[in-house]
Amino acid sequence: MSNAWRKKLIEGIDFDDVEFYGNLGFKCGLEIHQQLDTKKKLFCRCPVGYRNDEPDAIILRHMRPTLSEMGTYDGTALMEFKTKKQIIYQLYRGNVCTYEMDDTPPFPINQEALDYAIEIALMLGCQLVDEVHITRKQYLDGSIPTGFQRTAIIGLNGWIPYRDRKIRIQQLALEEDACREVQDKGHTIIFRTDRLSTPLVEIVTKPDMHTPHEAAEVDELLGRLLRASGRVRRGIGSARQDVNVSITGSDRIEIKGVPRTPDIRPLTHYEALRQKALLELRDKLHARGITEQTLKATCHDVTKLFYDPQERKRYGIPDDADRVNAVNLVGWQGLLKHKTQPGLTFAAELAGRVRVIACLDRMPNILVLDNQTEGKLHGETDVPVELEEHVRKAIGADKNDTLVLVWGSVEDVKTGAEEIIIRVKEAAEIIPQETRQHMVDKCRTDFERILPGPDRMYPDTDSPPEAISKERVVRIQGTMAPKPWDREKEYAGMGIPAHLARQLAIHPNARFFDRLVGGISINPRILAEALVEWHRAIAREKLAAEITADMPDEQRLERFFISAGKNRTPRRALYCTFRLLLHGLYTKDAEPPAPLSTDELKSLCEKVIAERKDVRYKTRKLTLDFLLGEVIDQSAGRAEPEQIISFLENRIPSFQPAV
Amino acid sequence: MNEHDKLKGYKGKAREVLESMGTRVWADVEIETDKGIYEGIILPRAEQADDLHIVLKLETGYNIGLAVHAIRSIKEKAFREAHYKIPEQEFPYDPIKLNVTLLGTGGTIASRLDYRTGAVIPAFTPGELYGAVPELADICNLKTKKLFGVFSENMGPEQYIATAKAIGREIEAGVAGIVIGHGTDTMHHTAAALTFMIQDSPVPIIMVGSQRSSDRPSSDAAFNLRCACNAAAHGSIAEVLVCMFGPTSDAYNLLHRGSRVRKMHSSYRSTFRTLSDIPVAKCTPDEVNPIKKDFRPRRKDKNVKLDAVFDDRVAIVYYYPAMKPDIIESLIDNEYKGIVIAGTGLGHVNKPLYAPLRKACRMGISVMMTVQTLWGYVQMFVYDTGRDLMELGITPCSNMLPEVAYIKLGWVLAHTHDREKVAKMMLTPINDEITEREPHDGYLIFQGGLPEVEEFLKGRLR
Ligand SMILES: [Zn+2]
């Protein structure tokens, strides 16, 4: 997908147009998944890791739906079962044990992870549960070998401040991460188990965001809060977000795995428009008298019409398709051309279901025959009218009917045709609750699966409930990081500029800064600069391989800044010595130097003036600047520039033009 | 506490609070606590759990526990009792398909949640099974009979006898095969018992269970059940066999001879292994492929030798280095008639046990020697210790597994208490509980980490 296409989809849209989205009834909620920075996994003692090498072993499994605790089957579970997938798991000796393979029951829950989850729940102002109950959340897509994710609510009903209002946090759950999908082709799906069972928190907001822009901003805000906690993992795949969108007249649709925060804007925008389009399609159907009850859709085996390979070619049907079915949608003429997303029509909704549920994933996987309708439909194949007539006659379709061809193995085609009928029935009544995945342009979405409901929850009979004691909460509150927005305000009050305060508020060194800043006489702004900007700049310097820019331990660092305060080390001298410290080139007890005394400065200036008496610039200012630079260099930053300038100005009172 | 208790599982303070608020389990409520308001359904509580919390199911399906001391009020909005029931559908009958009877003893082959204990309990009707595993109808006509609903560890002589008799009736009725649903923990004990109690069966008798209960999407129950039904209906091996996962992958099952099989891992799917021999066959839901050539083939007649008796005054003694004579003494004092020793190495115990063992033999108790190494033969001629023990009157049981020897001794003692006759019966194999030869690949435990083993395993489904 070209950048020009994406640009065209985004350009000129005001994603914060309150009136436009208000009229749509746009509502958006977030589900943020963030891995916790624990040493071990949540229910076993495997180290958390990320692998890209050859797996040490593989296993094959299948999933079957089971009953929920309330005695019902979950819709998604049944859908996943229809796909009849062979699920392959890649195993790694170093990061996976028999627990992840579902060959050993869970060990007691990781207490470090539970502490972190409680801490983050407290930061979000949640009501903590008194007793943690581990629940199994079914996932039949194979992403977890047990077929369920072990998850537990830690806190409920929190909130964060945003635009003078509260964004409500519905819940925070502690759960184990799923596998990474490596490949999904036909009836085989391959998963890598490295990150499986890594502890993560799932934060669910209420649908309190009213524009796509708000959704993106709140996502960023929550991301900042999580980083401020100092308890979360960074790096590839460590944070993922799902976004829920609804408009007036629709139920929520989940967009799964939005890659980057800014993508939330176009994705939610076009999803809202898709929902609007589906509601319009429903009205069109009703206007034709087509409802869920009256809708007529029939399935016909038309394989015999496609025995001739030449004929097949003209339709774009591959030779290895054993069966071709035609689904006749009575009275649907033209409606599959109803636009749903930029460049996509309702036919894409059918193709998505067929691709996922019937595993017919060679695209195009359906062909629409829509009597005399101009132009291309989904599948981009033009079918000559006389060919179409051939099929219509064979199954006795009326000219007002639309036909959908689907092909593949006998079993898959049967499933595919059933899914088409299910989807068109839904179109006459509701917007089906789906999980959708973003397409490559990160603006449009495609069907991923039916949205799971509460029926997929089941108590984990392998794990006992665990009470959260008062002592535990008090202990955690004692070391809890302040919220980033509170920190920012506090830092601003110390005279730290806004951009720096914003960075420091979520920086790993923030806790150290908070502890140090009150007790030493160093300027908070310089301390913040050192811990955030200098550290980053020094770490980026390209140096010999044996020199690193690791932060020394906190005690050493603390001694360093205490003496810097005591010695009133000038900013520039502090930078130089901080750099040496980070490079490990500084002797153990060395201190940042004190500034030069007036006499020392005076004699240094005299020395520089004498050495450079032959240097002349066009203006007096340039000459002064040059001398200033020389003095700063030779003093290793131990004098403040203002002090040097005032001395030099007295010493070189008049303009001496260049020779 | 009975099934109709309105506060199922709650006790002490929690019960008091719920009672005083006039509410009950399955009530859809709004609870006000010191922390805030919670909405959900009050769930029954596990009996082992404390009396300080109540369990609430939220609308999202999650469960949470709330401290009772912080509850201010509970308002009941509705009542929604859950009916956890696998959808029952009548198992279809197809006159051209073969008839198989599934005898249920319990275990996790089909199960549902029990709120009282928080554990899964067995559930079992043909309709439920068909509802859960509809593929079974492609294999055979299935009839189910629930013999008992007990956990594996509660299976004992009484159940062995009842099961054997039930099998006898089914064979007489002319079924094509029998499947026995069983918990896995003691499946090999029951398999051994049935091997001795039902001899020369004309049809397969297939024991099956599951290592992951059927309330889990990844359960092995459905695959095991399909394999077992197929082996019972269409398999050519008319023996008591255990049908469980070969590898941990959903790839194929193995059929193990009931006299040589043992559960070898506490939780792995592929926990059952044939010891000191190779499994009888490999099977899938579609076919049975014999691995061994010598098996008892399926016959057309309905003759079977039913010998369902058991004397439970038998004990198994797992020897350890510092074992004191009083262990044996107490068995003598309590009038046990048979003792199976799982001895060290080739079949040894220490000298201090000689005296009580001699006494036991003199008092007419049959004492059998097996090896706790599980693989290999008892060989009591190699060392003096062994020769001494034989002089005391202990019978070496060749390569019979300790659990199998225990079951067989109980069965033999129900026929005779004469020590010589007992020894003779013990050493006359009924179906390979003693084999004359151990093949080179009868003992095969790969050691992971070795390069050649890793190479062999690479890319193979484990
Ligand atoms: Zn592990």
Render the burial of B392-404: b for 16+ CB within 10 Å, e for the rest.
bbbbbbbbbbbbb
Write the pLDDT tens digit of every residue in B259-298.
999 999 999 999 999 999 999 999 999 999 999 999 999 9
Q: Touching check for B251 and chain A: CB below 8 Å?
A: yes
- pLDDT tens, A543-554? 655 566 677 788
Query: Which ipTM was obtained for this model?
Result: 0.89
Sorted by sequence, the CB contacts under 8 Å of residue A219 that are 6+ apart come out as A30, A32, A241, A243, A261, A264
Encode pLDDT of A268-308 as tens digits: 999 999 999 999 999 999 999 999 999 999 999 999 988 88
Q: Give residue A544 CA to ligand 1 midpoint distance, Å.
A: 39
Q: Which class for B174: exposed (0-12), middle (13-18), buried (19 or more C-beta within 10 A)? A: exposed
Residues A569 and A603 in one domain: no
In a domain, A418, yes or no: yes
Taking residues A404-428, report their average pLDDT: 93
Q: Let me know if B302 is exposed, middle or buried by CB neighbors in 10 A (0-12, 13-18, 19+).
A: middle
Pair A351, A276 in one domain? no
Could you give the C-alpha distances from A312 to A306, A315, A371, A395, B82, in angstroms and in order?
A: 6, 5, 19, 18, 53
Q: Give the pairing of strands A434-438 and A253-258.
A: parallel
Distance from CA of A148 to the nearest CA of B (A): 7
Q: What's the confidence (pLDDT) of residue B205?
A: 98
Q: Write the pLDDT tens digit of every residue in B42-53.
A: 998 988 889 999
Residues A279 and A419 grouped into a single domain: no
What was the pLDDT predicted at B6?
87
Residue pairs spanning A and B at CB distance below 8 A: 156
- Integer Cα distance of B396 and A570 in angstroms: 91
* pTM for this model (two decimals): 0.88
Contact B65 A465 (CB under 8 A): yes
Of A103, A139, A148, the CB nearest to B248: A103
Whether the pLDDT of residue A589 is over 70: the answer is no
**Could you tell me if residue A437 is inside a domain?**
no
Residues of B in contact with A66 (CB under 8 A): 214-217, 219
Residue of B23, B184, B271, B435 marked active site: B184
Q: How confident is the model at residue A612 (pLDDT cuts 50, 70, 90)?
A: confident
- The verdict on residue A435 lying in a domain is no
| Chain-chain contact of B462 with A156 (C-beta, under 8 angstroms) | no
Whole-number Å distance between alpha carbons of B177 and A460 = 36
Interface contact flag, B64 A153, Cβ < 8 Å: yes
CB count, 10 Å around CB of B325? 15
A190 shares its domain with A306: no
Q: What pLDDT was estimated at residue A616?
A: 72
Tell which of A251, A285, A319 closes a domain. Answer: A285
- Kindly indicate the confidence band of residue B86, based on its pLDDT and cuts at 50, 70 and 90: low
Task: Please check whether residues A311 and A398 belong to one and the same domain.
Answer: yes
- When pLDDT is averaged across residues A186-207 and rounded to a whole number, the result is 95
Q: Please list every residue in chain A whose beta carbon sits closer than 8 Å to the beta carbon of residue B120.
A: 461
Cα-Cα-Cα-Cα dihedral sign, residues A571, A576, A581, A583: positive
Q: Which of B5, B138, B185, B312 is catalytic?
A: B185
B positions 23-42 inside 8 Å of A (CB): 35-36, 38
Q: Are residues A386 and A530 in the same domain?
A: no
Q: Is B385 a catalytic residue?
A: no
The answer to whether position A613 is within a domain reads: yes
How do strand A457-459 and strand A445-450 relate by DSSP bridges? Answer: unpaired
Which residue among A71, A145, A146 places its CB closest to the CB of B85?
Answer: A71
Distances from the Cα of A477 to the Cα of A115, A334, A481, A492, B67, angstroms: 10, 62, 9, 24, 20
**How far apart, in whole angstroms, are the C-alpha atoms of residue A445 and residue A352?**
10
| Gap between the Cα atoms of B243 and B222, Å rounded | 12
Cβ burial of B153 (10 Å; 0-12, 13-18, 19+) is exposed
Say if domain B12-79 classifies as CATH 2.30.30.520. yes
Specify the CATH architecture of the domain B99-306.
Answer: 3-Layer(aba) Sandwich (3.40)
Where does a domain end: A260, A285, A310? A285
Taking contacts as CB-CB distances below 8 angstroms, the residues of chain B near A156 are: 36, 38, 58, 64
Tell the burial category of A60 from Cβ atoms under 10 Å away from its Cβ (0-12, 13-18, 19+): middle
Q: Please indicate whether residue B263 is annotated as part of the active site.
A: yes
Residues A329 and A411 in one domain: yes
What is the structure's pLDDT at A659? 42
Cα separation, B171 vs A113, whole angstroms: 57
Q: What is the arithmetic mean of pLDDT over A493-518?
A: 91
Residue A23 is assigned to a structural domain of this protein: yes
Instruction: Compute the nearest-CA separation of B86 from chain A (Å).
Output: 7
Whether residues B212 and A128 touch (CB distance < 8 A) is answered with no
Task: Quote the mean pLDDT of chain A.
Answer: 88
Task: State the average pLDDT over residues B15-40.
Answer: 93
Give the pLDDT band of residue B371 (cuts 50, 70, 90).
Answer: very high
The H or E element that residue A229 is part of is helix A212-229
> Is residue A152 over pLDDT 90?
yes
The Cα of A339 is separated from the nearest Cα of chain B by a number of Å equal to 34
Q: Which of B23, B105, B190, B263 is catalytic?
A: B263
Cis preceding linkage at B321, omega within 30: no
Q: Please report residues of B whose CB lies closer than 8 A to that of A460.
A: none
List CB contacts (< 8 A) between B58 and chain A. Answer: 153, 156
Fold type of domain B314-426: Rossmann fold (3.40.50)
Nearest Cα of chain A lies from the Cα of B226 at a distance, in angstroms, of: 14
Lowest average pLDDT, out of A603-617, B154-168, B232-246, goes to A603-617
Tokens 């130089």, residue located: A576
Cite the residue boundaries of each domain of chain B with CATH code 2.30.30.520.
12-79
- pLDDT > 50? residue B1: no
Count of domains for chain A: 4
Q: Which among A31, A43, A44, A62 is the top mutation candidate for probing chain B, defined by the most B β-carbons within 10 Å of its own β-carbon? A: A62
How far apart are the C-alpha atoms of A327 and A416, rounded to whole Å?
A: 10
- The shortest C-alpha distance from B105 to chain A (Å) reads 22
Residues A500 and A564 in one domain: yes
For position A593, what pLDDT does the model report?
Answer: 83
**Record: contact A133-B216, CB cut-off 8 A:** no
Is the confidence at residue B113, as pLDDT, over 60? Answer: no
Tokens 């309702």, residue located: A346
A85 interaction partners in chain B (CB closer than 8 Å): none
**Which of A57-66, A150-159, B172-181, B332-341 is predicted least confidently?**
A57-66
CB contact under 8 A, B62 and A171: yes
Q: Is the separation of the CB atoms in B88 and A483 below 8 Å?
A: no
CATH 3.40.50.1170 residue ranges for chain B: 99-306
Tokens of B30: 């709004």
Chain A residues closer than 8 Å to B216 by CB: 66, 136, 146-148
Question: Does residue A359 form part of some domain?
Answer: yes
Q: Is the CB of B52 inside 8 Å of chain A's CB atoms?
A: yes
Q: Average the pLDDT over A143-166 and give the result.
A: 95
Chain A: residue nearest B247 by CA?
Answer: A59
Cα A204 to Cα A227: distance, rounded to the nearest angstrom: 17
Q: Are residues A395 and A354 in the same domain?
A: yes
pLDDT of amino acid B305 = 96
* Known catalytic membership, residue B184: yes
Q: Which amino acid appears at position B400 of this protein? A: M
Q: Which of A546-555, B31-40, B366-375, B418-427 is least confident?
A: A546-555
Q: How confident is the model at residue B400 (pLDDT cuts 50, 70, 90)?
A: very high
- CB within 8 A of A145, min separation 6: which ones? A59, A61, A87, A89, A100, A101, A102, A179, A193, A196, B218
Task: Name the more confident of B414 and A479.
Answer: B414
**pLDDT > 70: what percent of chain B?**
93
Largest CA distance in chain A: 107
In a 3-state reduction of DSSP, which class is residue A100?
coil
pLDDT tens-digit series, residues A200-218: 999 999 999 999 999 999 9
Q: A496: domain range?
A: 482-582
In the predicted structure, residue A163 carries a pLDDT above the cut 60: yes
Is the CB of residue B199 less than 8 Å from the CB of residue B173?
Answer: no
Nearest to B190 by CA among B228, B149, B160: B160
Which one is predicted more confidently, A375 or A13?
A13
**Model pLDDT, residue A583:** 78
Percent of chain B, pLDDT > 90? 71
Q: Same structural domain for residues A395 and A529? A: no
Cβ-nearest to A66 among B66, B214, B248:
B214
Cβ within 8 Å, pair A70-B82: yes
Residues in Cβ contact with A429 at an 8 Å cutoff, skipping those fewer than 6 apart: A282, A291, A292
Q: Are residues A339 and A398 in the same domain?
A: yes
**Residue partners of A399: CB distance under 8 A and separation at least 6:** A333, A371, A372, A392
Both A152 and A12 in a single domain?
yes
pLDDT of A70 above 70: no
Most A CBs within 10 Å: which of B108, B129, B211, B216, as the mutation test of the A interface? B216
What phi, psi does B74 have (nearest 5°)? -130, 125
| Alpha-carbon gap: B301 to the closest alpha carbon of chain A (Å) | 39
pLDDT attached to residue B285: 96
pLDDT exceeds cutoff 70 at B108: no
Mean pLDDT value across chain B: 90
Q: Which of A582, A611, A632 is the last residue of a domain?
A: A582
